[in-house]
Amino acid sequence: MDFSTLNEALAFKSYDKVADICDSLMFQAASEGVSFQEDWPYAIHLIGHIYVNDINSARFLWKKIPLAVKESQQEVSTAWKIGQRLWIKDYASVHEAIREFIWSPQCQGIMSAFSEMYTKRMFELLQSAYSTISIQDTALFLGMNEDDATNYAVQHGWAVDPTSRMLTVTKQAVVTEQKLDHSILQQLTEYVFHLEH
């Protein structure tokens, strides 16, 4: 089986393409009748779906993985543990699942990128959901210790009250660009003029 496109995507850090590449390769192998279960990069495939936040596809892939692979490849089981935590919306323990395993060199890059992206996603979620939040809860959601979580929040414009150990969330202003296309305005003017006369 030729995994050159997958290896290329991993080398160029095109992690958002990994799941689609794996799906295509799996479909191709299955349609050609090629036995692929033994050599398939299931951990990368699962992580690829998790990376693009397609937990449903990761769940269905998990169901297709042979039991022997699930039992013999610890990295596959650990990747699915992250998927499970996301599936049940246990967001705080995702970082714990990522850190509890020493990932292979092939998975290390995508897992590191996912961890960083997931931290940003959780921070944005906290930012949109709270006006104040405890340092302890922030640390739990960001997968950091309290000092690192406080520093991360302060770097992003949040205020800290050391007495109450609370963080005050600073909402980011939403900037929208409105482009005015004169041709559309001209068409609208002509249309309204036509309706009036």
Integer distance in angstroms from the first to the last C-alpha of the chain?
69
| pLDDT of residue 82 exceeding 90 | yes
Q: What is the pLDDT of residue 189?
A: 82
**AA identity, residue 96:** E
CA separation for the pair 19, 4 (Å, rounded)? 14
As a three-state string, the secondary structure of 55-112 is HHHHHHHHHHCCHHHHHHCHHHHHHHHHHHHHHCCCHHHHHHHHHCCCCCHHHHHHHH
Greater confidence (149 vs 179) lies with 149
pLDDT tens track for 89-147 = 898 899 999 999 999 999 999 999 999 999 999 999 999 999 999 999 999 999 999 99
CA separation for the pair 51, 55 (Å, rounded)? 9
Q: At what angle do helices 18-31 and 4-11 cross, to 10 degrees?
A: 180
Alpha carbon 132 to its chain's center: 25
pLDDT tens track for 14-29 = 999 999 999 999 999 9
Q: What is the pLDDT of residue 37?
A: 83
The mean of the pLDDT values for the chain is: 91
If you average pLDDT over residues 61-80, what whole number do you get? Answer: 95
pTM score: 0.82
Q: What is the share, in percent, of the chain residues with pLDDT greater than 70? A: 95
